Amino acid sequence: MGPDPAWRTAISRVEPNSIRVRGYDLVELIGRRSFGDVVYLLLAGELPAGNEGRMVEACLVAASEHSVVAPSVDAARFVASAGVPLQAAAAAGMIGLGDHHGGAVDACARLFLDAADAGGDEREGIARIAASLKAEGRRLPGYGHVVHDPDPRARRLLDVAGELGFGGRWCGLALAFEAVTEDVFGKHLAMNVDGALAAILLELGLDWRLGKAFYVIARPPGFVAHVFEEQTRERPYRDVGWRNVAYDGPPDREPPA
Amino acid sequence: MGPDPAWRTAISRVEPNSIRVRGYDLVELIGRRSFGDVVYLLLAGELPAGNEGRMVEACLVAASEHSVVAPSVDAARFVASAGVPLQAAAAAGMIGLGDHHGGAVDACARLFLDAADAGGDEREGIARIAASLKAEGRRLPGYGHVVHDPDPRARRLLDVAGELGFGGRWCGLALAFEAVTEDVFGKHLAMNVDGALAAILLELGLDWRLGKAFYVIARPPGFVAHVFEEQTRERPYRDVGWRNVAYDGPPDREPPA
Amino acid sequence: MGPDPAWRTAISRVEPNSIRVRGYDLVELIGRRSFGDVVYLLLAGELPAGNEGRMVEACLVAASEHSVVAPSVDAARFVASAGVPLQAAAAAGMIGLGDHHGGAVDACARLFLDAADAGGDEREGIARIAASLKAEGRRLPGYGHVVHDPDPRARRLLDVAGELGFGGRWCGLALAFEAVTEDVFGKHLAMNVDGALAAILLELGLDWRLGKAFYVIARPPGFVAHVFEEQTRERPYRDVGWRNVAYDGPPDREPPA
Amino acid sequence: MGPDPAWRTAISRVEPNSIRVRGYDLVELIGRRSFGDVVYLLLAGELPAGNEGRMVEACLVAASEHSVVAPSVDAARFVASAGVPLQAAAAAGMIGLGDHHGGAVDACARLFLDAADAGGDEREGIARIAASLKAEGRRLPGYGHVVHDPDPRARRLLDVAGELGFGGRWCGLALAFEAVTEDVFGKHLAMNVDGALAAILLELGLDWRLGKAFYVIARPPGFVAHVFEEQTRERPYRDVGWRNVAYDGPPDREPPA
């Protein structure tokens, strides 16, 4: 009786002295292909025929670091302070790349696909989609930023996409959404890095459900740097400090008998 | 009263419309610098003056994927099958980059530093260190592999290190350790990818405690690919199958009254 | 300037020599109140006035262990084998308590609330809700089990709920859903442990979004036992074995020049 | 060919309609045995013959909650704010139960075992062990607390241990260590909750390497409460606030050409 359920994969094959990724000998890729090429190979199943690897690397650089102004990095540093191995603290950070932190890439890519599927006049379709979000009290994922206005990474990514041959329909749609924000939301909402990443994800032909992949792949070097800094520069056991906490629960009371 | 404890960092600074990493404007790096350069910047504090970024990328490619023949990937797939977001399943995999799975890089780099500190005849020092591990019943971290003999990634990494100008003292030490294995352990233990990564870590001037960083940074694209494959190709809720488990605990019994 | 954003909590207050949970001195609860009472206190905000703590403990016991026939436990064991601290391996398991693994409690509780809100004839409302799931090709969360038929934990939990005074409306609804499964899905789907936990969650007056809490709280002792067993009885670095993997991706090929 | 490596476990056995834990029918334990009894069963392999389950529950209550004055809870709340499922945020907290946060239980239990093994006059042995820690610049794990002096949970736990019949040799040793702190460290270091837990761990006959288990099992209800509070009371995406960060890295500079 074999393993149940059986293991199968189309990603890579390991045999003694051989590691093949999507059919390619991994050893031949070492030092010959960029990390961006291999990321693309793993996600898309093929080595880049053109600039895909460079485009991936630009996205990874854009999403790589935002200091402690990010829930994921803060979580990683708290956990690091408690005395855990490097990878475990980085993992705590990674868990935090949630729907409100990188997850806007998926949601925004889904929006672009919806707009493309809508048919009819594109600008009208976009305005309708944006208005329906507004009516539901929801935000437009990929637009606006809590610190930046505009987020300088977005325009830069679109410029690089243009240079590398990825300034196509999806980048156009991303700008078209930005253009309706003032009318729909009553203020201009500049595209943020997630919005630009969503457009480029689709330009690269990747599945929209891989939207968070850019953050999942881009953030670990920063997690490593922050965990290492926390563990080598700060005192162990960081907490928020009991004096800094406002308790607003029930007053002191006696347990029932 | 300010936050307690205060937050400080030397890694990056975020202000409205500005993200500076180690002093450099992140926006200027997007599309201009490789991900390897930025990884080096985050870990070493400086942009590469030479080939450091390419060397980092070669290391990341080498450590990027080993199919489901790795505890971390298996864990990520089990967790993915249970219905969790992409980043959470990837984080479960990352936790698994433990002392026996990537951790050999730290241990091996520490060994090289010990050998370098030992003074005296280098080959004698190395043989003495290896023999002392052997006497304690411990393995030589970075040598031998459960599947590969030799691990083809190791020699390739050293070759690339030579091409890029990083074939220095630490790579020499790595080969010198390999050379004593037959005498000390009674069989030739070929350098594995972790041994090569340890040597290159030191060639790059990085802290030995960052040994696991290569895996922490290199593996996420593979985690993403495996999680996505699990969630799109396999049925939910993978487990090992009750028929495949041998129970060898206490026999059926009644609880004491 | 104070911390931004400020920290506030209604759960507990820590001051020198004092820890108060929901207003009660934690020290007075030690040895006087059961863990179930304190779980209820943390989740509901009040100490039990009646049997709530015993009911919580019955739920925790029911959900506590299912051997390696669970993705979470398997993930914890793989990660443990890679050489990580106890709590980190347990955390990898916990991540796996996803929508298909404990998450049915939330979904099922939501269903019961929908049925209660539906008005009209209750049995008709239930049949309509079940039929609409069926029409969408979805499963009825909380009913049927991949190994057990019936899941013996479900009936036992309902019996205990009756004994402790929690056999009310929600338990009735849970049985009413079971009663329509044969008509709607073409075969009898017995209530599973998640279905029973969902009913009891509501009987306890807890928020349906806390459905996964039973697993999150109940499983850690099992994770600990499995991690400890893996690390003390098995060889390090468990993987699925390269011989057990069927690769079905692209055939061997050369990288493009 | 069967699975490689094979799965075996002495913890529990699952077969259709049957779940046996250490030989006992789990269903019979539901509602009949406390969660503490089942925790003891999972960790020690036997159901309590006496008060072990009540002692375990007292330990779990003592370790259950310390507000946001704990790195683990802070991490869980940051992660929760980023929009992730309940169990994933709780897992981020759990990762943080590291060497400086619950890990003192292991270290302290190890110390008690060393003292017991030392032979000769017990008080002298204890003073020697404490002095050797002091000489190495290390702390005495299980004594002193960053907020409390004394930690009120410690004495309470020892009192309860006495009531329940666990006030034996290890509790005596724990007090004996406390008694030498003033001489050795120049100030009285009161036993903290971890010190008391370490003594009781050994009184219960559990393996010292299970020290962290108390936290791993006790903290999840608090993680759940904090994650739920964060997600229902606070705005998404909590970070430390860019204005609260002191950057002390390299000044603004231009990338090398």
What does the pLDDT read at residue C63? 98
How far is it, in rounded angstroms, from Cα B166 to Cα B153?
16
Backbone angles phi, psi at B18, to 5 degrees: -145, 130
The pLDDT tens digits for A40-68 are 999 999 999 999 999 999 999 999 999 99
How far is it, in rounded angstroms, from Cα A203 to Cα A113?
12
Residue C3 has pLDDT above 60, yes or no: no
Q: Does C103 touch chain B (CB under 8 A)?
A: yes
Beta bridge partners, C42, equal none
What does the pLDDT read at residue B257? 77
> For residue D165, how far is the Cα from the chain centroid?
22
- Kindly report the average pLDDT of chain B as a whole number: 96
How far is it, in rounded angstroms, from Cα A239 to Cα B234?
41
Indicate the helix (H) or strand (E) that contains B199.
Answer: helix B193-203
SS3 D21: strand
Confidence of residue B5 (pLDDT cuts 50, 70, 90): low
Structure tokens at A184: 């729909």
Q: Does B253 touch chain D (CB under 8 A)?
A: yes
Of D13, D85, D225, the CB nearest to C67: D13
How far is it, in rounded angstroms, from Cα B174 to Cα B113?
11
By the 8 A CB rule, do C92 and B98 touch? Answer: no
What is the 3-state secondary structure of C130-180?
HHHHHHCCCCCCCECCCCCCCCHHHHHHHHHHHHHCCCCHHHHHHHHHHHH
By the 8 A CB rule, do A94 and A221 touch? Answer: no
What does the pLDDT read at residue C42? 98
Confidence of residue C69 (pLDDT cuts 50, 70, 90): very high
Helix then strand count (H, E) for chain A reads 12, 5
Q: Do D71 and A239 touch (CB under 8 A)?
A: yes
Instruction: List helix spans (H) across D63-121.
Output: 71-81, 86-95, 103-117
How far is it, in rounded angstroms, from Cα B151 to Cα D145?
49
Q: In which residue are the tokens 């799975």 written?
A: B101
CA atoms within 13 A on the CB side of B203: 29
Instruction: Tell me which amino acid residue B60 is.
Output: L
Judged on CB neighbours under 10 Å (0-12, 13-18, 19+), D191 is buried
By the 8 A CB rule, do A52 and B107 touch? Answer: no
By the 8 A CB rule, do D162 and D171 touch? Answer: yes
Beta bridge partners, A253, equal C24
How many residue contacts between A and D have a Cβ separation below 8 Å?
136
Q: Do A84 and D96 touch (CB under 8 A)?
A: yes
Residue B144 has pLDDT above 90, yes or no: yes
| Residue ranges in chain D whose pLDDT is less than 70 | 1-5
CA atoms within 13 A on the CB side of B54: 14
Confidence of residue C257 (pLDDT cuts 50, 70, 90): confident
What does the pLDDT read at residue A94? 98
Helix axes C71-81, B71-81, angle to 10 degrees: 170
The pLDDT tens digits for C159-176 are 999 999 999 999 999 999
User: How far is the CA of A80 from the CAs of A86, B72, B105, D72, in angstroms?
Assistant: 7, 20, 20, 10
- Residues in chain C with CB shorter than 8 Å from the CB of D4 are 240-241, 243-244
Q: Does D222 touch chain A (CB under 8 A)?
A: no
Residue among C78, B70, B225, B91 at smallest CA distance from A9: B225
- 69-98 in D: which are within 8 Å (CB) of C? 69, 85-88, 90-92, 94-98
Instruction: Tell me which amino acid residue A180 is.
Output: V
Of D101, D237, D239, the CB nearest to A82: D101
Q: How far C127 CA lies from chain A's nearest CA (Å)?
A: 30
Q: Do B23 and D245 touch (CB under 8 A)?
A: no
Residue B11 has pLDDT above 60, yes or no: yes
Of D25, D32, D249, the CB nearest to B23: D249
pTM for the model: 0.97
What does the pLDDT read at residue C102? 86
Q: Does D5 touch chain B (CB under 8 A)?
A: no
Q: Do D19 and C67 touch (CB under 8 A)?
A: yes
- Residues in chain A with CB shorter than 8 Å from the CB of B31 are 54, 58, 61, 156-157, 159-160, 163-164
What does the pLDDT read at residue A1? 33
What does the pLDDT read at residue B234? 96
What does the pLDDT read at residue C120? 87
Give the Cβ contact number of residue C132 at 10 Å.
11
What does the pLDDT read at residue C60? 98
Q: Do D61 and C69 touch (CB under 8 A)?
A: no
Backbone angles phi, psi at B5, to 5 degrees: -80, 155
The pLDDT tens digits for B110-121 are 999 999 998 889
> For residue C105, how far is the Cα from the chain centroid?
6
How far is it, in rounded angstroms, from Cα C76 to Cα C88?
9
How far is it, in rounded angstroms, from Cα C195 to Cα C199?
6
Q: Which residues contact C155 (CB under 8 A, 6 or more apart)?
A: C191, C196
By the 8 A CB rule, do A201 and A211 touch? Answer: yes
Chains within contact range of chain A (3+ C-beta pairs < 8 Å): B, C, D
Q: How far D38 CA lies from chain A's nearest CA (Å)?
A: 26
How far is it, in rounded angstroms, from Cα C43 to Cα D232?
13
How far is it, in rounded angstroms, from Cα D11 to Cα C183?
39
Q: Does D236 touch chain A (CB under 8 A)?
A: yes
Residue A226 has pLDDT above 70, yes or no: yes
Judged on CB neighbours under 10 Å (0-12, 13-18, 19+), C38 is buried
Structure tokens at A6: 């059986």
Q: Minimal Cα distance from D4: which residue of B?
A: B244
- Residues in chain D with CB shorter than 8 Å from the CB of A103 are 83
What does the pLDDT read at residue B117? 93
Longest distance between any two alpha carbons in chain D, whole Å: 75
- What is the signed CA dihedral for A163, A168, A173, A175, rounded to 10 degrees? 20
- Kindly report the average pLDDT of chain C as a whole number: 96
Q: Does D68 touch chain C (CB under 8 A)?
A: yes
The pLDDT tens digits for A68-111 are 999 999 999 999 999 999 999 999 999 999 999 988 999 999 99
Of D70, D75, D240, the CB nearest to A69: D240
Helix then strand count (H, E) for chain D reads 12, 5
- Residues in chain D with CB shorter than 8 Å from the CB of B90 are none
Peptide bond into A150 cis (omega under 30): yes
By the 8 A CB rule, do C76 and C226 touch? Answer: yes
Judged on CB neighbours under 10 Å (0-12, 13-18, 19+), C79 is buried
Q: Do B87 and A98 touch (CB under 8 A)?
A: yes
Q: Minimal Cα distance from D231: which residue of A?
A: A100
Q: Do B12 and D252 touch (CB under 8 A)?
A: no
By the 8 A CB rule, do D10 and B218 touch? Answer: no
How far is it, in rounded angstroms, from Cα C148 to Cα B162?
60
The pLDDT tens digits for A136-148 are 999 999 999 999 9
SS3 B11: coil
Peptide bond into D221 cis (omega under 30): no
What does the pLDDT read at residue B4? 46
Q: Does D246 touch chain A (CB under 8 A)?
A: no
How far is it, in rounded angstroms, from Cα D60 to Cα B242?
32
Backbone angles phi, psi at A181, to 5 degrees: -60, -40
Q: Are strands A12-15 and A18-21 parallel, antiparallel or unpaired?
A: antiparallel
Across chain D, where does the E strand assignment appear? Answer: 7-9, 12-15, 18-21, 24-25, 245-247
The pLDDT tens digits for C108-158 are 999 999 999 988 898 999 999 999 999 999 999 999 999 999 999 999 999
How far is it, in rounded angstroms, from Cα A44 to Cα D31?
52
What is the 3-state secondary structure of B99-160?
CCCCHHHHHHHHHHHHHHHHCCCHHHHHHHHHHHHHHCCCCCCCECCCCCCCCHHHHHHHHH
The pLDDT tens digits for A1-42 are 344 458 999 999 999 999 999 999 999 999 999 999 999 999
Of A43, A61, A85, the CB nearest to B33: A61
Q: Do D62 and C26 touch (CB under 8 A)?
A: yes
> For residue A84, how far is the Cα from the chain centroid?
25
Q: Minimal Cα distance from D49: which residue of B?
A: B256
What does the pLDDT read at residue C77? 98
How far is it, in rounded angstroms, from Cα C88 to Cα D97?
8
By the 8 A CB rule, do D238 and D81 touch? Answer: yes
How far is it, in rounded angstroms, from Cα B7 to Cα A241?
12
Of B69, B100, B146, the CB nearest to C82: B100
Of C71, C82, C236, the CB nearest to B238: C71
Chains within contact range of chain B (3+ C-beta pairs < 8 Å): A, C, D
Q: Does C5 touch chain B (CB under 8 A)?
A: no
How far is it, in rounded angstroms, from Cα B214 to Cα B210?
8
Q: Does B230 touch chain A (CB under 8 A)?
A: no
Helix axes D35-44, C35-44, angle to 10 degrees: 120
Q: Minimal Cα distance from B55: which residue of A?
A: A31
Beta bridge partners, A247, equal C9
Which of A4, A67, A74 to mutate against chain D (most D CBs within 10 Å)? Answer: A74
Q: Minimal Cα distance from B47: which residue of D?
A: D255
User: How far is the CA of D101 from the CAs of A33, A87, B70, B104, C219, in angstroms?
Assistant: 43, 17, 29, 26, 21
The pLDDT tens digits for A215-225 are 999 999 999 99
Residue among C184, C190, C217 at smallest CA distance from C41: C217
CA atoms within 13 A on the CB side of B53: 21
Q: Do C94 and D94 touch (CB under 8 A)?
A: yes
What does the pLDDT read at residue D2? 40
Q: Which DSSP letter does residue B65 get? A: -
Q: How far B244 CA lies from chain C's nearest CA (Å)?
A: 10
